[in-house]
Amino acid sequence: NQKTGVEYYVDALLRALCSVAPAEVFDICAPTLWDAETPDTWTVCALTWPWPGWSTFRFSAHCLYTRPDVVFAPGNALPPVRVGKMVTTVHDLAFVHRPELYTMIQRQNLERAHRKAARADHIITISDVTKRDMMERYGVSEERVTTVYHGIDHDRFHVRASSDDAVQRVRAVHHLQKPYILFIGRVEQKKGVDTLIRAYADAHLLEQGIELVLAGRRGEFVSEHLNALLTSRGVREIGYVADENI
């Protein structure tokens, strides 16, 4: 019910594919059902698995049974079995650049996942920085990596008049009376929230009557330093915000 960044990415990809490739045969697999209308040639499978290792065990078994031509893992979680062409999206290598923000087990798991991703037939990265990281750290050739930047759903995200009823309702619910800068994501150092708060202070935006509003759950790594920054004047946390209110 509370999608993360990768889940938003997957949801947007699937909705776009419904429009551009309605006649192709897709087998959508996830631990839970994707709640959307799909073309007749698509199947949506909820591959339940109550233990860790969904991709390693449950998804692998499904691939061996269905024998797809192409396996696409949008969250850098390719199965260990090799069935058809393998494509994955690598979002970042933050665990390499900021290892102190991850536990040893997290770093080990991410390293294994990225080494597995490096063996894919093709890799999609969301920035040229991540493309370069994959090439330099794992020796991936440039022709096997394509940068595809995130898009914007202009049907959902567009400027509305401040007098719009929906805008007024959301502003009232979250007490957004002043001009504000909005951050959406987990509130933790991995997301650069500490840097954002310092930039907000350095720009003296509070003196200009502008708030910094953080929309998202607290992450697992919130240091004492970040906790102190979160109490800064003009900085407000409003928790997770539902899609319809974004």
What pLDDT, in 10s, does the model give residues 51-107? 988 999 999 999 999 999 999 999 878 999 999 999 999 999 999 999 999 999 999
Q: In terms of Cα–Cα distance, which of 103, 14, 12, 109 is closest to 55?
A: 109
CB of 57 closer than 8 Å to CB of 49:
yes
> Do residues 120 and 87 touch, judged by C-beta distance below 8 A?
yes
What is the distance between the alpha carbons of residues 130 and 124, in angstroms, rounded to a whole number?
9
Q: Does residue 205 carry a pLDDT above 80?
A: yes
Question: Which pLDDT tens digit goes with each residue over 138-181?
Answer: 999 999 999 999 988 888 888 889 889 999 999 999 999 999 99
Check residue 1 and give its pLDDT: 64
Query: CA 73, CA 117: separation in Å to the nearest integer?
Result: 9
